[in-house]
Structure 1
Amino acid sequence: MSKTKGRLIGQLFERNKRDLLGCLTRRVGHEDAVDLLQETFVRLLRRREIGPILDEDAYLRTTAINLARDFSRQSKSMAKHVTPGDIPTEIAEAGLDPSQICEAKESVRLFYAALKSLPPKCREVFILRRFHDLSPDEIAQRLGISRNMVLKHLRLALERCHAALD
């Protein structure tokens, strides 16, 4: 990227970051809003490689809102599959003692926290693979990213989940 392009992107970022961050924070909370703000600009940069954008400010706002909607949908989907405090049926039926049940609950809580702490795209890839059983190629096509990027996201998600549970 040339210095002029870099400077223009920097100006665009400075001009829009406060508004976009506020919009995203209201929709998803501050912690996730920062990641979505970054993803908004990444998408702008990718889109600019394809061709010119007539109104970049409007494009950024629309992209940010769409990312927030996707994130909310994804969070609801994740909540359907993973709920902190749920005791898996096998554990409840196995007649385990209370300390084992506590350990299982803690593992679920740690897993959920690790999943929630992943960057949005990484979390989305993991959920699509683990809970929707999509192949890496299907995920790549659905999200518009490369298969290698899908595999990198999966690797990061697995590393963080394993680290949280160790």
Structure 2
Amino acid sequence: MPQSKHDLLNNLFHYHSKELLAFAGCRVGDFAAEDLVQETYLRLLQHPEPSSINNPRAYLYKIIANLGFDHHRKENVRSKYAETDEVELDELVSPLPGPEALMEGEILFRNCLTALKTLPEVYLHIFLLSRVNGLTHNEIATNLQLSRQTVERYCSKALSQCFPHARQNRDSSSENR
């Protein structure tokens, strides 16, 4: 008379659970052994025809061995990508400026642009090519067909126009603190 799935599982668990737990403990350590044994019985339970297995005990050992390999593979991946030193989130510092610094920079930039608009347009254009676009004085001179000294003089004039506004902005922001 064929055994039911439930009876087969009960018998296997009753007769082999301790030895399977010891075997799993040798494979993955005592901490994860119970999970492995439980997963083994769940896999057996999912088998479509457990009564068709010729040697259920050997089948359980094979499942535990395979789960042990999977466990070690997962642990290797986790340890490979896990940080060794845990960092407190409160101790992390962003390399980006804070909102106050961004606002101060925005105000300074607007003040400098206002000051620069009082200069001739060519001064402003050369200054923006240098400071915003990052072109060198040689590149600007070549592109605009000017001498390098002229480009340097225009940039210098534009910077000197910005300095009073930059100082004014710093002085007013330090008074507010």
TM-score bucket (shorter structure) = 0.3 to 0.5
Larger Rg: 2
